[in-house]
Amino acid sequence: MVARLQLVIFSLADERYGITTAQVKEITRMEEIAPIPRCPRYIEGVLNLRGQILPVICLRERFALPTRTDSAATRIIIVDADGLKVGLIVDAVSEVSDIAEALVTPAPDVASTYFVTGVCHHSGTLISLLDPVRLFSTEPQLGVSSIGQ
């Protein structure tokens, strides 16, 4: 048996990313998000998920990508980051795939890939594996300057 990794694969701008299914709680359509004042720009606000109030992050803002326009494909991926439930807004969720762990190579060690724990090729595209916990840490060595401002 080859060790396999089950990933939720989604797109953001023109790139593909993956998060392990173990860290994904659920995926919902875009819903109304209440903005919270005095927050970093990438924090979109809070979401009412069946009575629970969860913070929601816009991944495009987090990665300093061009501003998003919501479409029918826009999704919120609810992840569990060290026990904290957080919603991530992505352009679209494409599939859930099994990938052999052996195919994952460590991310190139450059600052701009701070959120990325590894990369792999799948169906001809490059997928960056995200670590949700890192998305909320305020490590300073980010490759993009506008984050959190």
Among 50, 108, 140, 145, binds other proteins (CB under 8 A): 50
**Cα-Cα-Cα-Cα dihedral of 54, 72, 35, 63, to 10°?**
80
CA distance 35 to 119: 33
CB of 105 to other proteins, least distance (A): 32
Measured between alpha carbons, how far is residue 97 from residues 10, 69, 123, 139 in Å? 11, 26, 10, 30
137 binds other proteins (CB under 8 A): no
What is the phi/psi pair of residue 103, to 5°?
A: -80, -15
143 binds other proteins (CB under 8 A): no
| Sign (positive or negative) of CA dihedral 98, 129, 79, 22 | positive
DSSP structure class, residue 38: S
CB of 110 to other proteins, least distance (A): 28
51 binds other proteins (CB under 8 A): yes
Mark residues 70-89: x for contact with other proteins by CB under 8 A, - for none.
--------------x-x---
CB of 26 to other proteins, least distance (A): 16
CB of 45 to other proteins, least distance (A): 8
Interaction site with other proteins (CB under 8 A): 32, 34-39, 43, 45-48, 50-53, 55, 84, 86, 136
